[in-house]
Amino acid sequence: MRAMRHFSVKLNDGHSMPILGFGTSAPTKVAKSKVEEALERAIDIGYRHIDSAYIYLNEEEIGRAIRKKIASGTVKRDDIFYTSKVLCRVAYLWSTFSRPELVQTSLEMSLKKLQLSYVDLFLIHFPIALKPGEEILPKDTDGKLISDTVDLCTTWEALEKCKEAGLAKSIGVSNFNVKQLEMILNKPGLKYKPVCNQVECHLYLNQSKLLNFCKSKDIVLTAYGALGSDPEKEWVTKNYPVILEDPVLNAIAEKHQRTAAQVALRYQLQRGLVVLAKSFTEKRIRENFQVFDFQLTPEDMETLDGLNRNLRYFKNTYDSEDSSVTIEIGEIDMSGTNSDEVVGSGAFCPGEFLYLAHSPCSAHVCLTAYNTGNENLLCLRMG
């Protein structure tokens, strides 16, 4: 099987990133051992880009799978491109690591679990923060979650220090919108630009404006959720359409004698994105890797572009002074708000909590948690 290093994109810091990655976030019902086994199979098949985060609670298993494959001679450490992310720590405490003094701590904890000496890419997971402390969910006397006033630009400086210390080869962001990216890019004394921005992106949410902006700044856009999401998952709105059942997508797949998933992934690759594919079934892991030996026509691409409906699978609630409405993350449509300013924001923590990723560089965000049975929502008041 052809190694992924032959299908890579050059980052703005000189390093290379494989353009097809293996995602490792999983619902709580998926055993961690299954994630480990799936990653071993993925490496055998040819995946070299592995995407994870401390909050996924499986970096120990992921590190073990990587080390097994290194020990067996299947790969060398330099063959693997590993991504981790900083924001929340989940286990015996929940806290933000977006505070500058805690960023390196977050990375060192990931490296300890992985038993690796460095990560290839380290991302700010979400552009919001919760106050550090001993509690899993820090709350005030009124029961509201306590946010932390954190300057994202200062947090970025802490990531730059991680890069200079050799703990991370490249640094980037996740779930940032154009305005938030500009805050980093326009920061006085910027040493390193973000190499990438990882966001929800698929046929029903093609992120064309954000993609064009990132290309203009030599920032790679990475797509998570590229195949949509299983409606049975607890954090997904149940009545949303399933991308892989789309008749237009399936007609194009049939024409090329490919699966709908392969066409959905190929679409993103031909647009110039790095794309993450996730499955814990060997057959699908293998199928998702087979996207480099066919080409979609310009007509196919135009047809698939037309499927965009600005639909987000990972929703949240925005609480303003004047109204309380349920929105699609990043697509705020209310009086006095420019939805273009927040295009591209949006995030999720599998099986845990959803976030609204819309905050200024130094904004204060007030959060309140609600348990709705199958999902937990964080409602935010921007201040």
Q: Output the pLDDT for position 236.
A: 59
82 among known catalytic residues: no
CA distance 276 to 73: 25
Question: Token pair for residue 254?
Answer: 């049939």
CA distance 321 to 315: 20
Q: Report residues of the chain scoring pLDDT below 70.
A: 1-6, 87-101, 128-139, 144-150, 230-238, 314-383
CA distance 161 to 29: 37
Domain boundaries defined on the chain: 4-311
Catalytic residue, chosen from 56, 82, 267, 313, is 56
> What are the φ/ψ torsions at residue 169 (nearest 5 degrees)?
-75, -40
Q: Output the pLDDT for position 380.
A: 35
Q: Output the pLDDT for position 230.
A: 60
Q: Output the pLDDT for position 354.
A: 32
Give me the count of residues in the chain.
383
In whole numbers, what is the pLDDT of the chain averaged over residues?
78
Q: Output the pLDDT for position 323.
A: 26
Q: Output the pLDDT for position 6.
A: 61
Does domain 4-311 fall into CATH 3.10.20.600? Answer: no
Count CB atoms within 10 A of the CB of residue 195: 25
HSE-up (13 A, CA, CB side) for residue 118: 16
Write down the pTM of the prediction: 0.78
Please say whether the beta carbons of 311 and 240 come within 8 A: yes
Q: Output the pLDDT for position 28.
A: 79
Distances (CA, A) of 282 to 5, 32, 34, 43, 92: 21, 16, 11, 11, 33
For the stretch 230-264, pLDDT in tens is 655 555 566 789 999 999 999 999 999 999 999 99
> What are the φ/ψ torsions at residue 102 (nearest 5 degrees)?
-105, -10
Q: Output the pLDDT for position 138.
A: 61
288: closest CA among 305, 311, 273, 269? 269
Q: Output the pLDDT for position 332.
A: 28
